[in-house]
Amino acid sequence: MSTSNPPGVEGHLEEVSRGGNSAEWLPYSQVKQYTNTFIFRDHEILLGLKKRGFGTGKYNGFGGKVEPGESSLQAATRELEEEAGIRAALELAGVFFFVSDKEDKAFHIDIYRGENFTGLITETDEMRPQWFSFREAHIQTPEQLPPIPFHQMWETDPYWIPLLVNRQPFAGRADFRTQGGKLLPSKWWFGTVLP
Ligand SMILES: COc1nc(N)nc2c1ncn2[C@H]1C[C@H](O)[C@@H](COP(=O)(O)OP(=O)(O)OP(=O)(O)O)O1
């Protein structure tokens, strides 16, 4: 089934999930470009525990703002090295677009994936890197890695991380509203890219 994309989301997409309230999508007047990069090896994904700034205390990929004069890929490569101490050939895996009721600025986040990194994974003042397992049948033994900690990640991550893990190109949008001092998703839509 192909459906019309939410505002801000481009591409020929097939819906995979949607939810939340039936309100109109939130308006925005400018779009800021960000990146977010995930490194894979075997059945493992590298996440970082954010130690400061936006999303402190949550696990996420490595990324940040695209600086003036930089391409998105250059920014993703720079942020990966700044935040985790490693370099990797990156490929664009998807796009996550979100708007919040706190500001009229939308975030366009290019999501990258990479393997075969070089360098030593290093904790930085912004991120504490840690490997997690994404095996489906996860039997916990002391030698095994913990599963992806969705309970300590952004609430919309469970809608698109499986697409990232399964190499399905995707795009989606979420609107966030402040509830009890927390930024929580009020409406979302995700789709996979059709050939
Ligand atoms: C709200 O949903 C989000 N989900 C996920 N998974 N990731 C998100 C979400 N919102 C933002 N992000 C990502 C995008 C970036 O990778 C970081 C935020 O970057 P930050 O604000 O730390 O940008 P920097 O350029 O590193 O900032 P400083 O130079 O000021 O440290 O979170």
CATH number where 150 lies: 3.90.79.10
Q: How many whole angstroms from 54 Cα to the centroid of ligand 1?
A: 6
pLDDT for res 195: 84
Give the mean model confidence (pLDDT) for residues 41-65.
97
Could you tell me if residue 8 is inside a domain?
Answer: no
Q: Quick one: pLDDT band at residue 86, thresholds 50, 70, 90?
A: very high
- The answer to whether the CB of 38 falls within 8 A of the CB of 61 is yes
Q: How many whole angstroms from 69 Cα to the centroid of ligand 1?
A: 19
Could you tell me if residue 79 is inside a domain?
Answer: yes
Give the mean model confidence (pLDDT) for residues 77-93.
98
From the alpha carbon of 79, which atom of ligand 1 is closest?
26
- The answer to whether the CB of 128 falls within 8 A of the CB of 48 is yes
Q: Which of 25, 3, 32 is nearest to 16 (CA)?
A: 3
Rounded to whole angstroms, the Cα distance separating 143 from 83 reads 26
pLDDT tens string 94-109: 999 999 999 999 999 9
Q: Quick one: pLDDT band at residue 131, thresholds 50, 70, 90?
A: very high
Q: For the chain, give the percent of residues with pLDDT over 90.
A: 89
Could you tell me if residue 3 is inside a domain?
Answer: no
Distances (CA, A) of 190 to 47, 53, 94, 137, 181: 22, 26, 10, 25, 26
Total structural domains in the chain? 1
Could you tell me if residue 60 is inside a domain?
Answer: yes
Give the mean model confidence (pLDDT) for residues 108-124.
97
Q: What is the pTM of this model?
A: 0.95
Q: How many whole angstroms from 141 Cα to the centroid of ligand 1?
A: 33
Rounded to whole angstroms, the Cα distance separating 123 from 85 reads 8
| DSSP code per residue over the chain | -B-PPPTT--SSEEEEEEEE--SPPPP-SEEEEEEEEEEEETTEEEEEEE-SSTTTT-EE-B--BPPTT--HHHHHHHHHHHHHS-B--EEEEEEEEEEETT-SEEEEEEEEEE-S-BS-----SSEEEEEEE--SS----TTSPPBP-GGGS-TTHHHHHHHHHTT--EEEEEEEEEETTEEEEEEEEEEEEP-
pLDDT for res 10: 95
Rounded to whole angstroms, the Cα distance separating 15 from 24 reads 18
Could you tell me if residue 16 is inside a domain?
Answer: no
Residues with CB under 6 A from ligand 1: 34, 36, 53-55, 60, 63-65, 98, 107, 109, 126, 154, 156-157
Of 175 and 141, the structure prediction assigns the larger pLDDT to: 175
Q: How many whole angstroms from 118 Cα to the centroid of ligand 1?
A: 23
Could you tell me if residue 195 is inside a domain?
Answer: no
Question: What is the span of the domain harbouring residue 66?
Answer: 26-170+177-189
Q: Quick one: pLDDT band at residue 175, thresholds 50, 70, 90?
A: very high
Q: For residue 121, what are the contacts with CB-CB under 8 A and spacing of at least 6?
A: 46, 84, 85, 86, 129
Could you tell me if residue 14 is inside a domain?
Answer: no
pLDDT for res 34: 98
Ligand 1 pocket check: which of 32, 62, 65 to mutate, most ligand atoms within 8 Å of Cβ? 65
Q: For the chain, give the percent of residues with pLDDT over 70.
A: 94
Could you tell me if residue 132 is inside a domain?
Answer: yes
Residues paired with residue 128 on neighbouring β-strands, in sequence order: 49
Q: For residue 194, what are the contacts with CB-CB under 8 A and spacing of at least 6?
A: 2, 12, 13, 14
Whether the per-residue pLDDT at 27 is higher than 60: the answer is yes
Give the pair of three-digit tokens for residue 84. 């985790």
